[in-house]
Structures are given as C-alpha cells and as structure tokens.
Amino acid sequence: MICYILIICCGLAGNVLSKGSRSSSRLNTPVLSVTSKQIVIQASQTLQLQCKGKAQLAWTSPDSVHPDQGRLSIKEYRCGFQDQLHCSSLTLRGASAQDTGAYACKYSTKKRKRQAAVYVYIRDALKPFLELHSSIPEVVYLTEGRKLIIPCRVTAPDIPVTLKKFPEERLIPDGKKIIWNSKHGFIIPDPTYQFIGLLSCEATSNGVLYSTKYLTHRQVNTIFDVYLNATNPLKMLRGETLAINCTVTAEWNARVQITWDYPGKGNSSALITNRIDQSSSNIFHSILVIKQLKDTDRGVYSCNVQSGPSTRDTNTTLVIYDKPFISVKYRHRPTVEVTAGQDSFKLSLKVKAFPSPEVVWLKDGMIAAEKCARYKIDGYTLIIRDVSEEDAGSYTLKLGIQQHNLYRNLTVSLVVNVKPQIGEKAVSYQDPGTYLVGSKQALICTSHGFPPPRIQWLWHPCARNNTKGL
C-alpha cells in the first residue's frame, strides 16, 4: 500500500515538473511579477517590477521616465531551471505623479511582438491630474466619425472626476454617450456639436478643487487648391536665390500641414517659412528659399499638403544653367516664301535663351512694329496680318540680355509671291469695236505678278457669219 502511494506521488511530482518545463518552453509572451493589470503606489515610493521570458527582454515606460535621470535602473540576468530563461528587473526610485502610465516588458527582437504590461498609478494628493491646463486650455480636435477623448488622466483610479462645459453645464457619463476611463479620460464615441467649446475636468483632493481645461475644435479637412508661384520648368542661373511660394486654400477652420520634398532636403539647404494669410484664415503659405543655388539643387520641388486624411500636392522642376546664353537659328532656310492676300503669316526663328532676352524685329533696317501697324510681335515670332506685296524684304531678329552684355541677331529674307493679274481684264468693254479687213492692229496685254509672269498668246478664230444677203 505504501509503495502504491509512493508511486502515485512520484507520478504527480513528475506531472508537475513536466508542466513546469512545458510552461517555461511556451513563454511566447513574457511574464511579469505582478498578475493584476493595474497597481497603485504612493508618490516618492520605489516601483519594482520583474519580468521573465525565453529571449532577451526590453522595457517601455511613460515619457517622463528617462534612464539618464538616475532614478531608473534595469538589470538583466539569467533565471529559471539551469538558467534557461532571461529575466529583467525594473526599479524606479522616487516615483512621481507624472510617471503614471503603462509599463511593459517585451522581447527585444522584432519577430517577437507580444508584451506583458501593467498600468501603474502613482497617487499624489497634490496632483490628481497628470496634466493640468488651468490658464491656457489644451486644444482637442473633434473630427466627424471619430471618437473624442478629453485626456484628463488621473494619478489614482478612485479619484472622482466631473466633466463640465462652459459656463456651468455638467456632462454626466452614462457609459454610452460619455464614458469615464481613469487611464484615458472622458471618451465620447460619437461626438456632436454639443461637445464643441470649452470643457473642464474637475477633481477635489484634500478639500482643494483642481481643474484642467480643454478647448474642443471641430476640424475640417477639405483642401480646395494648391499652387506654386513658379512656372514649370523653373529656370535659374547658378548662384542665384530661389524662392518658391506654395499657396493653399482650404475650408474654413481647416488646419493644414505643409511639407516640402526637394533635392537638398537631406542637407536642409532650404529655409522654409509657413504663415497664414492675415486677411483670410483659410489661405496658407509656405515659402521655400535657397540662397546661392548649386548644381546639386536642380530637380523636382514638391509641395505636399495634408489636412487630416485629405492630401494634395503640386510640383515644379528646377533647371539650373551655368551661365546666360542666346542661340538663334533658321527653322528651315534663310529665305521664306508667302503668298500675297494671306490673312496672317508667322515669321519665326529657332531661339533658345536664358534669361529671357529683349526682342526687336527690324524690316530693312527699321523697327518693324513702327513701320507698319499690321506687324505684331508674339514672343520671338513676328506676325504679319493681311500679307501684301510690300511686306517682302529682309527681316532681322535682334536679341539682347543687357545685364549680361550678351547680344545675338539673325536675318531672314521674306519673298512675297503675287498671283499674276492682267490689267485689261479688269476693264469692262461695252463694245469691242470693228476693224477693216486687211488693216493692221496692235493688241496689248498688261500683266503683273511676282515672280514676273510668262505671257503666251492664243488665237481662237470666230465662226463665219452666213447671214443671207452678205
């Protein structure tokens, strides 16, 4: 009987060991020394947490806890059966109310994302709220379709907090429309216009009333237009100063974020200034300035605008030239032909220049626009309206960049072809006249045209008159 009992005990002990070994081998999630999801300690006390797992461990804590302050110490060591596990201890001395928050232990490798966490309240009778906005309210954005959180977190879970709307309206949490959560604050799942305005969270500690204020702002996200004050492509000389203004028009009460992408962004070579138009609160400007342009600054400059989920962008390409230049060539040949009577004719040459030069067209050595009202300059092109024979001649395109003492010109000949015309045809004869048989007569044909027309005479004999009696 005793042997039987010993066998059973040994079997149970074996099961316990086997379970223990299996549980240690299944530590997909680290294990904390505390089993509850939240704990409360007093301010100025020491917080101690231990964590174990089957791989190297790391800790996350509230932003107020910095290792370089000397209050925090983390020790790592091996633990468990035959030191098969990894253990880590976190010690925070002189804990303060601002250290309230989540403390989590996780595996340090990226492949293992699971963690064990505990929320630590650090009770302080003089600081019931983690953040106190008494004189200047904190702005909380209200976005349609998203829950609204009034983040008046407290340093202990049992502190009663009241939510009020200016001036004296009390908003009572009902667990549905308004939910109180000591770790987050007041949560409004489906906010309406009722919650727009000045809200305050109030709590009484040791007979003193504490109030932290929040200003809710209904955020709209509609972006109407985004445009630059620059052409595309934007051409400049090396060494010049670049200034691009990105203008954004958006819906009233919208708040936009403007960022730039440009070739020298990694070196922060640009000075960027953002401002709101003082005359209209829905027009925003972002000005990008680069002094002393270099070859590495050439490329695409993109203005990116974001307002909530809405995004827009626009861009331009910057071309940088080493020095100013003018190049002018014939499009086809130095002589151009046109026909008189044509409604309009464009006389143009191939021009490449930077910066843009002054343009003057000459006709036979005189300024064309002053010589004839039918001449009009459009860019580098001379437009001749109602082309006539007198428009034939030599035309010179003069180009100049005075500030760089750079000048070029090129002459093209315009030939105006005139359709042949017979002068006598324009005169209407009532009676061709009669002449005696055998008499000598002279026929005259006066013609005009360009090139000079070739005259050819043709004779078409008339049929004899067979009238009786003749």
The DSSP line for 200-243 is EEEEEETTEEEEEEEEEEE----EEEEEESS-SSEEEETTPPEE
Task: Tell me if 265 is assigned to some domain.
Answer: yes
Q: Is the peptide bond before 355 cis (omega within 30 degrees of 0)?
A: yes
- Residue finishing a domain among 321, 345, 362: 321
Domain that holds residue 108: 25-123
**Tell me, what's the pLDDT at 5?**
34
Question: CA 174 to CA 164: how far, in whole Å?
Answer: 14
Q: Are residues 237 and 204 in the same domain?
A: no
Beta bridge pairs of residue 228: 246
- Nearest C-alpha neighbor of 220 from the set 314, 303, 146: 146
**Tell me, what's the pLDDT at 429?**
54
Q: Which of the 8 DSSP states describes residue 454?
A: P
Query: Using an 8 Å Cβ cutoff, are 97 and 62 in contact?
Result: no
Task: Tell me if 466 is assigned to some domain.
Answer: no
Task: Tell me if 426 is assigned to some domain.
Answer: no
Q: Are residues 307 and 329 in the same domain?
A: no
**Token pair in block for residue 393:** 């001649």
Q: CA 45 from chain center: how many Å?
A: 50
**Tell me, what's the pLDDT at 217?**
84
Please give the model's pTM, rounded to 2 decimal places: 0.49
Q: Are residues 317 and 227 in the same domain?
A: yes
Q: Are residues 41 and 102 in the same domain?
A: yes
Q: Are residues 213 and 234 in the same domain?
A: no
Helix (H, G, I), strand (E, B) or coil at 179: strand
Q: Are residues 269 and 317 in the same domain?
A: yes
How many helices and strands in the chain, by DSSP H and E?
Answer: 2, 35
How does pLDDT run across 327-339, given as a tens digit for each residue? 999 998 999 999 9
**Tell me, what's the pLDDT at 281?**
64
Task: Tell me if 232 is assigned to some domain.
Answer: yes
Task: Tell me if 428 is assigned to some domain.
Answer: no
Task: Tell me if 439 is assigned to some domain.
Answer: no
Which segments of the chain have a pLDDT < 50? 1-25, 468-470
**Tell me, what's the pLDDT at 424?**
61
Q: Are residues 209 and 255 in the same domain?
A: no
**Tell me, what's the pLDDT at 466?**
53
**Tell me, what's the pLDDT at 435?**
73
**Tell me, what's the pLDDT at 183?**
95
Q: Are residues 338 and 316 in the same domain?
A: no
- Residue finishing a domain among 278, 300, 321: 321
Domains in the chain, number: 4
**Tell me, what's the pLDDT at 220?**
79
Q: Are residues 229 and 317 in the same domain?
A: yes
Total Cβ atoms within 10 A of residue 131: 14
Q: Are residues 73 and 158 in the same domain?
A: no
Q: Are strands 375-378 and 381-385 parallel, antiparallel or unpaired?
A: antiparallel
CATH of the domain at 347: 2.60.40.10
Q: Are residues 227 and 315 in the same domain?
A: yes
- Residue finishing a domain among 405, 420, 435: 420
Task: Tell me if 373 is assigned to some domain.
Answer: yes
Q: Are residues 151 and 100 in the same domain?
A: no
